[in-house]
Amino acid sequence: MNIKVCGLKYVDNIGEVAALGPDYVGFICYDQSPRYMADLPPNVTAVPNGVVTTGVFVNEDADKVFEMIERYGFKAIQLHGTETPEYCLQFKGKVTVIKAFGVDADFNFEQLEAYKDVVDFFLFDTKTPAHGGSGETFDWEMLDRYKMNVPFFLSGGLSPDNISEVAKIKHPAFYGVDLNSKFEIEPGLKDISKLKEAFVLLLNE
């Protein structure tokens, strides 16, 4: 089980999270988010080797994304808007590309076919107007409708209360979890004790 902790924006807290040994850490580069990384210094992403630093973008101009990759040394990008397959293709092979989709009861997994060769991972979040960070879950049984081989992260309302259920999901393409708003003291400030408990449970499952 791979673990991504997303929405970091405080320097000391970033170091504490990185010390837990997540596989990925995410920085929100979308200024409408309460977890927006704002003007953090470039060295803030100098986390231990092996941790994949990820910039999270929403319908951002491609040149700006490339600029942020260069400035912060992001090893991955997570695209949380309505980015097209053609948009994603610009980054394939340069960084790891994660394409996020908001899932609700009417979600059609067939639309993902167009992305299968231009992204490395999908991320399934709960569909909301705010592009993630809602703290709400979707019906995880819907994942049974996903038949492709592209591995995926699960996001959306993962919390200390339901993480044990998440660990039981046995979908063959289930790659990792994305921990965010339910593991916080305030937006962008992660609760290290809650994360430690989740890490122990997920890594021992």
Cα 73 from Cα 45, distance rounded (Å) = 7
**Amino acid present at 203:** L
Q: Which residues pair with 76 in a beta bridge?
A: 54, 96
**Amino acid present at 142:** M
CA distances to 49, 89, 104 from 132, in Å: 27, 23, 13
Cα 33 from Cα 17, distance rounded (Å) = 20
pLDDT value, residue 7? 96
Q: What is the pLDDT of residues 86-125, one digit of tens each?
A: 999 999 999 999 999 999 989 999 999 999 999 999 999 9
| Positions marked catalytic | 6, 125
> Average model confidence (pLDDT) for the chain?
94
CA distances to 10, 28, 45, 65, 71 from 39, in Å: 11, 11, 12, 15, 11
99-112 b/e (C-beta count within 10 Å ≥ 16 → b) = bbbbbeeebebeeb
As a residue count, the chain comes to: 205
Q: Percent of the chain having pLDDT more than 90?
A: 87
**Amino acid present at 177:** V
Res. 130 pLDDT band, cuts 50 70 90: low
Domains and CATH numbers, the chain: 2-204 (3.20.20.70)
Q: What is the pTM of this model?
A: 0.95
pLDDT value, residue 85? 98
